[in-house]
A and B are shown apart, each in its own frame.
Chain A
Amino acid sequence: MLRLLAPKVLGYNSVCKQLLRNMTDSSKPIESVIRKKLKDAFSPTHLDVINESYMHNVPKGAETHFKVVVVSDKFTDLALLKRHQMVNSLLSYELQHGVHALSIVAKTPSQWNDSDKIVKPSPNCRGGFGK
């Protein structure tokens, strides 16, 4: 039982530490970390980090559901699956500690310019699609 609990407690502590480290934007600590990591890793020409947690059954101000829009040269010639894997692995810590939904739009600058640049919100957790 203790063994089961231990990783959770440790995880919680490190999340707290991370929260403290990122007090620059105290209201959105995880959003800020995600933004910084993506910025550093992909030097994106366009970056959006959207907190979609309000659409789900979680407390107000929660940071559990995110959508990220990353437009970067680094995605050139890479398949969609590979691009998503890059973003997922970059944010694997966050995904294991609190963030449980991550929707990804990963485009190259030319794909982004050719698109309508409208990113639709993700479906609601409960009762999506007119239910």
Chain B
Amino acid sequence: MFASRFVTASKFIRQFATKSEDIAGMIKNNKVVVFMKGVPEEPRCGFSNAVVQIMRMHGVQYDAHDVLKDETLRQGIKEFSNWPTIPQVFINGDFVGGCDILLQMHQNGELIEELKKVGIESALLTQEQSKEKDSTKSENN
């Protein structure tokens, strides 16, 4: 009885430790990594959906992990980043925030800057520049 308890406990600890290592690997696998409910094609929560829409606007290619498919990941990621809610966004392996923070970064232009730092040109910036080009062209004409 005692022995079996001990085995269960060490199994539990090992499982947890592996999860934390797994997550450390996941967040380094791509420049932008999102933990969300559902998948980008079909988000299962409005907050996750908002993050997906923001990423789409900026044309960012990212890794998405569905926490609804994996309960250990759902709990593990909360402990890993010490953040109680989903979605969670990582840029260059650093935790950036959840939906509110990303939305605010999108609104104040900070997201474009953060993406630039890791070598990603936001699609919004590219659009802006081509618009400017167009307008200078028409002025010249």
Contacts and interface: CB of A to CB of B under 8 A. Distances in A.
Given A84-B97, A88-B83, A100-B85, A129 B104 contact: no
Contacts of A104: 100
B45 interface: yes
Contacts of B82: 85
A123 B84 contact: no
Contacts of B43: 128
Given A101-B85, A102-B84, A81 B101 contact: yes
Nearest to B82: A85
B46 interface: yes
Interface string A90-131: 001001100011111100000000000000001111101101
Interface in B68-100: 82-85, 95-100
A124 B84 contact: no
Nearest to B53: A129
Contacts, number: 52
Nearest to B83: A88
Contact of B49 (A80, A95, A105, A123): A123
Contacts of A88: 83-85
B47 interface: yes
Interface string B30-54: 0000000000000111110110010
A123 B54 CA distance: 13
A131 B46 CA distance: 10
Contact of B85 (A80, A95, A129, A131): A95
Contact of A128 (B46, B95, B96): B46
A84 B101 contact: yes
Contacts of A131: 49
B49 A84 contact: no
A6 to B, nearest CB: 14
B84 A80 contact: no
Given A81-B96, A101-B85, A122 B47 contact: yes
Contact of B97 (A81, A92, A128, A129): A81
B58 to A, nearest CB: 16
Contacts of B47: 101, 103, 122-123
Interface of A: 80-81, 84-85, 88, 92, 95-96, 100-105, 122-126, 128-129, 131
22 contacts: A80-B97, A80-B101, A80-B105, A81-B95, A81-B96, A84-B98, A84-B101, A85-B82, A88-B83, A88-B85, A100-B85, A103-B47, A104-B100, A123-B47, A123-B49, A123-B50, A124-B46, A128-B43, A128-B49, A129-B49, A129-B50, A131-B49
